[in-house]
Amino acid sequence: MCPEPGTRIEDLLRDVAPQVLGALARRYGHFDLAEDAVQEALLAAASQWPADRIPASPRGWLITVAARRLTDLLRSEEARQRREEAAARQVPAGDSLAAGAGAPPDADDTLVLLFLCCHPALSAASQVALTLRAVGGLTTAEIARAFLVPEATMTRRITRAKQAIADGGAEFTMPEPGERAVRVTAVLQVIYLIFTEGYASTSGPSLLRPDLCAEAIRLARMLRALLPGDAEITGLLALLLLTDARRPARTSPGGLPVPMAEQDRGKWDAARIAEGTALVTEALRRGPPGPYQVQAAIAALHDEAPTAQETDWPQILALYEVLMQASANPVVALNHAVAAAMVHGPRVGLDLLENVGADQRIAAGHRLHAVRANLLEMAGDRDAARHAYLRAAELTASPPHQRYLNARAARLADQAS
């Protein structure tokens, strides 16, 4: 692969990182050591390339350097483990490596790598960290900053994750066809988690943190390129794009949350909306939709409405009913109640909320009370609405949300007097 002129070295490195690690792990095994070796090769490239020039085959250069480093790592393990001595000897010398490195990238390697990083033996936090490092090519320091944990903690989390993979005997091979669907679902969930972490933190001191939303979208694009026939992958990519499109409008200049109905739709990212809508339309043509496709279709309906009043609520309600049948998720039930209120009136929504509130997980959070307050306000029950807003404000720890909810309560008190 020849680098495009003007490509930033950092982006180039991160694009080829999973291919390099995939090639190394497939050839030599030892995923944990191979991963360390690739990180060191990436650091070497980042410091050497700007001064010299980008090699004709960045991927080949990185594989050669990482393989040499892996040889060193394996040799130093020799003293401890006899069997790895044999493996180290199998690593060919520099010349034959460079020849092999010129071979076209094997797309399957990146896919196997994704499956391994999202291995079911790992906790969600470990899957996320390992995916960002091994597939995303982020450094441990960057991942630590993104999740606001000390670098030493993140180093340990990644080391333990790699150890768990080694202990579980997982190998660098493609999962059996019968297992593929489950493993793809796990990868989708990890990408979605990376996105929501980024989306939730955008009102914080974001300039110090890497953009996890952009990273999740990049990973989803990568996965879609590897498995273009999978409609749920296309659905997830569409959902991320259609959600991210609203990001510029979802907080006020002062950092307060702005509800969708009050957002300046002119600030929404039209290119993302167009791309996301095209993707979800393409995915939905392929048969019964999975949950990401349905959520993407809902997001597309919101994004396409020129004003909040013109939102196609009957269609959104129908889609939430599809989602409700697929899973008993209380957040889905909450949104379903809102859609029902928009179609059939606030009292219908409030009745549905009674059932949602039976779930302890959702009753303890602020969202149920905020939605209830909003529907009570729509129904004209100002006093009850005011109390629900105040209760929601007590239950959230976020000062911007508290300010928003207290202001809604205060507005109702003013109208009453």
Find, among 161, 130, 124, the residue nearest to 143 by Cα.
Answer: 130
Using CB under 8 A, which residues numbered 249 to 278 contact other proteins?
A: 252-256
Q: State whether residue 87 is helix, strand or coil.
A: helix
Q: Is 81 exposed, middle or buried (0-12, 13-18, 19+ CB in 10 A)?
A: exposed
The residue count for binding other proteins (CB under 8 A) is 20
328 vs 397 by CB, closer to other proteins: 397
> Any residues with CB less than 8 A from the CB of 400 and at least 6 apart, and which?
203, 251, 255, 256, 257
Using CB under 8 A, which residues numbered 199 to 228 contact other proteins?
A: 205, 207-208
252 vs 315 by CB, closer to other proteins: 252
Find, among 5, 4, 6, 40, the residue nearest to 20 by Cα.
Answer: 40
94 vs 255 by CB, closer to other proteins: 255
**With contact defined as beta carbons under 8 Å apart, do 219 and 136 qualify?**
yes
Find, among 173, 189, 191, the residue nearest to 181 by Cα.
Answer: 189
Q: How far is the CB of 252 from other proteins (least distance, A)?
A: 8
The 3-class secondary structure across 193-208, one letter per residue, is: HHHHHHHHCCCCCHHH
93 vs 413 by CB, closer to other proteins: 413
Q: How far is the CB of 399 from other proteins (least distance, A)?
A: 5
User: Is 321 a binder of other proteins (CB under 8 A)?
Assistant: no
CB-CB neighbours of 406 under 10 Å:
15
13 vs 154 by CB, closer to other proteins: 154
Q: How far is the CB of 143 from other proteins (least distance, A)?
A: 16
User: Is 407 a binder of other proteins (CB under 8 A)?
Assistant: yes
Stretch that binds other proteins, among 68-76, 79-87, 120-128, 395-403 (CB under 8 A): 395-403
253 vs 380 by CB, closer to other proteins: 253
121 vs 200 by CB, closer to other proteins: 200
Among 46, 124, 141, 410, binds other proteins (CB under 8 A): 410
Q: What DSSP letter does each residue of 217-267 carry, written as one string?
A: HHHHHHHHHH-TT-HHHHHHHHHHHHHHTTGGGSB-TTS-B--GGGS-GGG
Using CB under 8 A, which residues numbered 334 to 363 contact other proteins?
A: none
Using CB under 8 A, which residues numbered 101 to 160 contact other proteins?
A: 150
User: Is 394 a binder of other proteins (CB under 8 A)?
Assistant: yes
Q: Please report, as ranges, the residues that interact with other proteins according to CB under 8 A.
A: 150, 205, 207-208, 252-256, 390, 393-394, 397, 399-400, 402-403, 406-407, 410
